[in-house]
Amino acid sequence: MRDLSRRNLLKATAAVGAGAVVIPGVVAGSTPGIAADGSGSSIGARFPSAKLTGRIVRPSDPGYGKASLGWDELFVRYPLVIVFAQETQDVVNALTWARQNDVALRVRSGRHSLEGWSNVDNGIVIDVSELKSTHIDTASRTARVGAGLNQLEAVTALGKYDLAVTTGTEGSVGLSGATLGGGLGFLTRYLGMACDNLIGAEIVVASGADGAKAIEVDPWNHSDLLWALRGAGNGNFGIVTALTYKVAPLKSVAYLQATWEGLDDLYGVFDTWQRTAPFADHRLGSQLEIHKSQILLFGVLAEGSEAEARELLGPILSIGNPEVTVQTGGWGDTYAGFQIPTEDEPANWKFFSQFTSEPFPRRAISLIRAFMENAPSDDSNFFTQAFGTGAQTQEPFGGAAFPHRDALFYSEPGAGWGTRGEPDSGDAVTPIAQTWIAEFSQALRPYVNGAYVNVPNIGMAEWETAYWRSNFRRLRKIKAKYDPHNVFQYEQSIPPATL
Ligand SMILES: Cc1cc2nc3c(=O)[nH]c(=O)nc-3n(C[C@H](O)[C@H](O)[C@H](O)COP(=O)(O)OP(=O)(O)OC[C@H]3O[C@@H](n4cnc5c(N)ncnc54)[C@H](O)[C@@H]3O)c2cc1C
């Protein structure tokens, strides 16, 4: 998923609540009081003409290039306008304006879409990244946060109260984007998927013939939409402006890193990992990262000691002669400690996601070795995350669209290349990296049986069932209910069911 090998070098700092300049705009008239059930009953209602509000960036503005560029610089788009919402009404206005002016729209939070789908040429980007509110209720163990927090900001804010929720490993990824597609990370086996901990949301949906409105979803109100947001919510049903999580106490973790030089121990390490880590104590989350000439193992043991971490991972650590380090501390500090500043990462990335329910046979592990030895760059890796018998096997109350409950592990080949801030610096490698990913993922097809919507596989046949299995049918019905005009659409968006 990302190159963890350099993580221990640098500490990142959270930037919660960075002030934003608001360019004054005319606030659109309040939305008419039409049916608030999202049922499409007022499907033909027309809204007063809307104006854009919030912090607005257009192509002629000096900050336009920076405001538009996503994390993966492989995809460069030129939107007509970017609206950085400062409050929910800015989102309502932007969506209404886009509909009334027939302008293509995309929703954006942390900008880490791996196919550049949170931006669009000649359209409007509705960006929620400046919605940074945080309300943590330690008594009820719930947190209500603005949709603009990134994962590091969320982990840091909760960590101050010894609380946690599952997130992915990269701090700069948007909490919204990660959660709405599932959200897997070191705490998945302990607390479930990030989306399993989502118990409510404020979401701006299309309304009537050309308008928009904000609605609250929770297990009792619009529970079908909450189900859909738990694993299929990215840019499909509306614009999430706030998320409510059930959060769990987490005082400290033991964080273990092991490094094997060369790939000679790969079979032993991989096979032992896939046969032990997914079945270990549910407090243990672990990842393997296989590079051109190194194998890395990372483990996080929630509320555990160094000795316990070493013991639980002992079967893997007994292979060959790895260099092992363990540190214990608060989850917030540990998480911040393994972040890498974005500017130190390659500019261009390509991944291919896959879930697996049976252990890889020797042949598959040999393929990984062969492909990694010929990786297109030093930043390329094969990443895995243990699933197995953990908390993610249980759906939350009300269910979730995320279907991969029986996975043994998640994995992905990933290539990173090119230099940030130097456009075209990776051009020579681009076709090599793309071919490598295509051939690598094709070679592993006999051993995998699902894909992860947060790491979309472009061009994949039957992506609908690879991401959501049979849940796709229900998702189409929910789409027809909340977005009958298919306002929210992109390359792999969910089409509304036809009646
Ligand atoms: C370096 C890296 C590491 C990663 N590591 C992990 C990991 O450890 N675990 C994991 O589970 N995933 C991981 N991912 C995948 C990540 O979860 C997805 O890329 C995620 O969708 C990014 O969300 P974002 O908000 O940053 O991106 P954006 O580009 O802003 O959005 C991504 C998608 O979500 C939609 N979206 C964003 N915000 C909203 C909103 N508020 N309402 C509705 N739709 C919205 C966008 O329209 C787009 O389709 C990683 C990705 C990268 C690039």
Q: Which two tokens stand for residue 115?
A: 């196919």
Distance 324 CA to ligand 1 centre (A): 31
Residues 6 or more apart whose CB falls under 8 angstroms from that of 143 comprise 134, 135, 136, 137, 157, 158, 163, 165, 244, 245, 247
Residues across the chain: 499
CA of 154 to the centre of ligand 1 (A): 14
Shortest-distance Cα residue to atom 23 of ligand 1: 177
How many angstroms is it from 89 CA to the middle of ligand 1? 23
For residue 36, give both structure tokens.
Answer: 């608030």
Q: Where are any strands of DSSP class E within 238-293?
A: 239-246, 248-249, 253-261, 284-290
Which residues lie closer than 8 Å to 56 by C-beta, 6 or more apart? Answer: 23, 25, 81, 82, 83, 84
Which protein residue has the closest C-alpha to ligand 1 atom 52?
A: 112
Tokens of 191: 């607390």
**Partners of residue 260 on adjacent β-strands:** 295
Is the Cα torsion angle 478, 480, 484, 489 positive or negative in sign? positive
CA angle 325, 329, 330 (to 5 degrees): 140
Instruction: Provide the pLDDT for residue 44.
Output: 82
- Residue located nearest, by CA, to atom 8 of ligand 1: 168
Question: What Cα–Cα distance (Å) separates residue 25 from each residue in 104, 281, 289?
Answer: 21, 54, 48
Helices (H), 212-361: 223-232, 266-276, 306-312, 314-317, 331-337
pLDDT of residue 402: 98
How many angstroms does the Cα of residue 150 sit away from the middle of ligand 1?
10
C-alpha span between 303 and 282 (Å, rounded): 11
Amino acid at 348: N
CA angle 409, 235, 430 (to 5 degrees): 65
- The answer to whether the CB of 126 falls within 8 A of the CB of 105 is yes
Residue 418 pLDDT: 97
Ligand 1 atom closest to the CA of 194, numbered from 1: 11
Report the SS3 class of residue 22.
Answer: coil
Rounded-to-integer distance, Cα 139 and Cα 123, Å: 44
- Protein residues whose CB sits closer than 6 Å to any atom of ligand 1: 1-2, 71, 106-114, 117-118, 128, 147, 168-170, 173-174, 176-178, 180-185, 233-235, 239-240, 454-455
CA pair distance 34, 357, nearest whole angstrom: 47
Q: For residue 238, which atom of ligand 1 is closest to its CA?
A: 43
* 176 Cα to the center of ligand 1, angstroms: 7
C-alpha of residue 195 to centroid of ligand 1, in Å = 13
Tokens encoding 87? 């409050």
pLDDT score recorded for residue 28: 30
**Residue from 71, 109, 132, 352 whose mutation best tests the ligand 1 pocket (most atoms within 8 A of CB):** 109
Token match 């969506």: residue? 95
| Residue to mutate, 234, 339, 392, 487, ligand 1, most ligand atoms under 8 Å from C-beta | 234
**Minimum-distance ligand 1 atom for the alpha carbon of 178:** 17
Shortest CA distance to 376 belongs to which of 426, 443, 341, 442? 426
pLDDT of the residue at 42: 64
Q: Which pLDDT score, from 0 to 100, does residue 4 have? A: 44
Question: Nearest 5°: CA angle at 467, between 396 and 339?
Answer: 75
- Residue 357 is classified by DSSP as S
What pLDDT tens digit does each residue of the chain (499 aa) get?
544 443 332 222 222 222 222 222 222 323 323 343 444 446 788 999 999 999 999 999 999 999 999 999 999 999 999 999 999 999 999 999 999 999 999 999 999 999 999 999 999 999 999 999 999 999 999 999 999 999 999 999 999 999 999 999 999 999 999 999 999 999 999 999 999 999 999 999 999 999 999 999 999 999 999 999 999 999 999 999 999 999 999 999 999 999 999 999 999 999 999 999 999 999 999 999 999 999 999 999 999 999 999 999 999 999 999 999 999 999 999 999 999 999 999 999 999 999 999 999 999 999 999 999 999 999 999 999 999 999 999 999 999 999 999 999 999 999 999 999 898 899 999 999 999 999 999 999 999 999 999 999 998 999 999 999 999 999 999 999 999 999 999 999 999 998 6
Identify whether the C-beta of residue 161 lies closer than 8 Å to the C-beta of residue 136. Answer: yes
Contact status, residue 226 vs residue 425, Cβ threshold 8 Å: no
DSSP string, 385-443: EE-TTSGGGSPPTT--S---TT-SEEEEEEEEES-TTSTTTTTTTHHHHHHHHHHHHHH
pLDDT of the residue at 423: 85
